[in-house]
Amino acid sequence: MRIEGSGALVVGGASGLGEATARALHAGGADVVIADLDSERGEALAGLLGERARFIAADVTCSDEVAAAVSAAAQAPGGLRISVHCAGIAWAELVARSKGPHRLESFEKVVAVNLVGTFNALRLASSAMLANEPDGEGERGVCVNTASIAAYDGQIGQVAYAASKGGVVAMTLPAARDLAASGIRVCAIAPGLFDTPLLAGLPAGARAGMAASMPFPPRLGRPEEFARLTCQIVENTMLNGEVVRIDGALRMAPL
């Protein structure tokens, strides 16, 4: 799939991994719609990118709001051909402790945003892609979702987050198979420890400890490295139904 001339939707595109991806796709010549809850950051990014970029406020758990973002991206001259989902939240809580069991509402919230929200964008974006004319490879679009290495090595207190990201991993192959006959690919990226706003508030010592735990390179991942991998998946038609880890060979310990 060619990035240049394609319409692209980046859900959760106002900051972190999503912002880097929106920047990379725009630099590659795509018409980019940034969808996010953070209107201030989203509008600022769209204004900075300028032509071929716009912001749509959207909550990933709201079908109507995501549908509006998809519709806006589909208005690009090339149609919506690239959908990237980066929106997500984290939560730390034990399954059970002396104060009581894990709160059901917090588990449900994480799953609603990270898993159901991802599926919401996937189903709406892929449906819009059906209207595209196939390219020379017979391709109509590509969807790239964000999982996490927590899907494989979830740490203590990560049960909700790990479950939500495990769901993203598990739906990648069946979604790719569902959409294969229509020429729409589905992949996911499972990042390790990346230097995003999620980690920015941690003390310097904690961040240094995380970096030291990385086999190689011994540092936190850079959002632009995630964005580069996203673009490589978009451009490589043989990548389909796959979850790609980008983690510097990190396998997280229980703590």
Residues labelled as active-site residues: 161
Task: Give Cα separations from 119 to 19, 114, 122, 213, 222 (angstroms).
Answer: 20, 9, 5, 32, 26
Check: CB of residue 240 under 8 Å from CB of residue 186.
yes
* Chain mean position to CA 123: 14
At 162 the three-state DSSP class reads: helix
Q: How many CB atoms lie within 10 A of CB 28?
A: 19
- Per DSSP, helices labelled H in the chain are 16-27, 39-49, 63-74, 104-111, 117-129, 150-153, 159-179, 197-200, 204-212, 223-235
**Does the CA dihedral 13-247-168-174 come out positive or negative?**
positive
Interacting residues of 88 by C-beta distance below 8 A, sequence separation 6+? 12, 113, 114, 117, 146, 164
Please give the Cα distance from 21 to 53 (Å, whole number).
13
* Chain mean position to CA 180: 21
Q: Using CB atoms within 10 A of its CB, is residue 21 exposed (0-12), middle (13-18) or buried (19+)?
A: buried
